[in-house]
Amino acid sequence: MHNPPNRLAAYLLLALSMSLVGSYVALSKPLVATLPVFLLAWMRFGIGGLAMPHWLIKPADEPPMTRTTRKLVFLESLLGNFLFSICMLYGVSMTSAISAGVIMASIPAAVALMSWFFLRERIGLRVWAAIACAAFGIGLFSLSKSELSAQYGQGLDANLTSKNVLIGNLLVFGAVLCEAAYAVIGKKLTGVLTPKRITSLINLWGFMLMTPLGLYMAVDFDFRAVTAGTWLLLVFYALAASVWTVWLWMTGLKTVPAAKAGVFTVMLPISAALVGVFALGETLRGVQLLAFGIALLGVVLATLPARTRATPAKLK
């Protein structure tokens, strides 16, 4: 098995993974406007699979997969790819964006609790403080977005009835649990499989799970209406979502505990906002910058080296 990266390199890989997620989420707006969601997801897995068929080959030094490992690979794709997408897409459509943003702020805490319960990871006070900063920063950012304030000034859309909002909030929380399970199961898998194998296997499962819905959407879709620029953006989105971000995350997880890795999810909204500013012409307000500062403080707290106690010299 390949040697895991050192602690600092692992932190950088985790941060880069979540930054890429935020980037392609922000840049995927034109894709969602052009392509049906499930067709987009199906083509994403298909393009990702074409980019890494050689990653499916088992390395010579990797032991055969046990029945438990196969189940974990399937669950990683089912929860982290398939159900997460469905819960998030439909949840956001049924509730307000501000509610979804605040609920998503609980991802670091959900990862920590699951890693404590399932992986028996010991979580110190400083990591809990980092999780609190991350959650508070993401929540504050969601509450302070100017477009959300405008939305609330006009009142909820007529389609957002109280029943729909409740169901939408529950679906978004389901997406939080799926994302937390993705981090915890990924930590288990990195102990027996290489990051490349994990990336390719869960992408293959994602493609198979999404194929019925993708084919259904593709039957009546006019592919000739898609511009060359949209196709190029689709290729970037597929490679980033299915290959680069997963490989970076799994490689970092080989070294970093799952609870601490969950803090790096703060990089997702930060990078998405920066792409919005520099590529989409959006603006950031002072409260949003403060929110990012608090969230990044959580990353600093999580990554500071632990102080080691000096052992007293023995008397001769």
Q: What is the pLDDT of residues 52-93, one digit of tens each?
A: 999 999 998 888 999 999 999 999 999 998 998 888 878 877
Q: What is the pLDDT of residue 192?
A: 93
C-alpha dist (Å) from residue 70 to 172, 221, 247 = 27, 35, 18
Q: What is the mean pLDDT of the chain?
A: 85
Q: Is the pLDDT of residue 149 over 60?
A: no
Work out the number of other CB atoms within 10 angstroms of the CB of residue 222. 6
Which residue from 6, 172, 180, 14 is spatially nearest to 98, judged by alpha carbons? 172
Supply 130's token pair.
Answer: 């980092």
Q: What is the pLDDT of residue 280?
A: 66
Q: Is the pLDDT of residue 148 over 50?
A: no
Cα-Cα-Cα-Cα dihedral sign, residues 294, 108, 44, 84: negative
Three-state DSSP class for residue 185: helix
C-alpha dist (Å) from residue 8 to 15, 41, 313 = 11, 33, 31
How far apart CA 52 and CA 65 sit, in angstroms, is 20
How far apart CA 262 and CA 107 sit, in angstroms, is 7
Determine the average pLDDT of the residues in 300-312.
66
